[in-house]
Structure 1
């Protein structure tokens, strides 16, 4: 019994310790022209080193995921992090023209409810672009606020049930956080490796959705019906820019043509969901980094 108790204590302690090193903040960045852009960061802190990623314009037409690196000093309450390298983007802007967030704060403690302050925007060559403010809260605190508001909405008698369903904040937030690939939209993915992999499958109820996949002008799959089982497709980046096109061949028995696409590149995974009508197509451009 004593050994079991000791084991349980160690098990819980280790799990708590690891969980304390993972952090996720959500909110927005405010540019100098007063425009607001949704912003999220997720990172792991280990021995003062920060590593993770950021998401800008979440759910928007210019959604971008970038790698995040930084440092944290608990004693001095100092944190700094910066975006470096784009993982993927829906923006037509080339990587060299992206403005990366660089942030420092000397009054911060990890686990606090907010990350606020001025950030400096820098291009990849460290020349200045646009500055602004970071306004972030922990994801847990944001979820509690959402649940509280949703509870108020569900209890009120002044709002019809049909409108309550359309006003479900939890569902709205879930849809915003989903990486949706729509008609005529281009997702740009950047890779250091020539070898990547795509997996495609139906993540919901099977309804007979069929797609055609082309890569650099060559047909990989024609009229392919997505199933629960994943179809794995290895790709080799033979050019600086390589184009993958998915076309919806039909609309299944439920709503639009949807397929889950997972892209495995440089030891990371990008998950997306297509949302297309018959004949519509979405495009993924893979750029091989120098």
Structure 2
């Protein structure tokens, strides 16, 4: 499902403090120092681990309409001991405000430098309501008027493992677009056309990735294999297929390793 985004181009700094709690593991103090402009931002995370302060660069994405923030660690700041196992965190945080304070809770998944999951668990943090992105908006942006092409949609459906979708197709090619239509949390996807890979373990973002695929016969099968489920399982991918002036808008929901299929029939 696609949700309309009513975000406001606010900008500023905020500091969040709390704990990161590994499942069946330790609890560490966790601090975020963020500089946010509109719907994106950058900053640092700070944890105290093995008697030292570990600092990471982070990227941030904000959905104020959903009261959701995604934080992704991407690089260590400073030299760390060779003996320390570095785990890069992607966290999905939901917030609520009360009496001038914001409370954030969520889940995280951590991966090492080889992209192997090393920790999973929860986060609990607090901050100041008046700081970005938590202060209330003073005005709404005008609703976006869709382009004419955006209104030509002949199907909106879900595809999961065991629920294949068959479409009657006219064109000699299929224009395929894929992206993360909800909260961008690190979902990855592999796409096969008649068994041959088109994309392999592709990390989905809010930007559309477009493929133009020549069709080979009376039946062409596209298989969507769920990879990493990101910070908020299951794996979710928004899919758009364009057949001339017809558009088919679908959403794939699958657990890691599971797949869904779309068959184009002439």
Using the size of structure 1 for normalisation, the TM-score is 0.37
- Please identify which structure carries the higher strand content: 2
The higher radius of gyration belongs to 1
Using the size of structure 2 for normalisation, the TM-score is 0.41
- Please identify which structure carries the higher helix content: 1
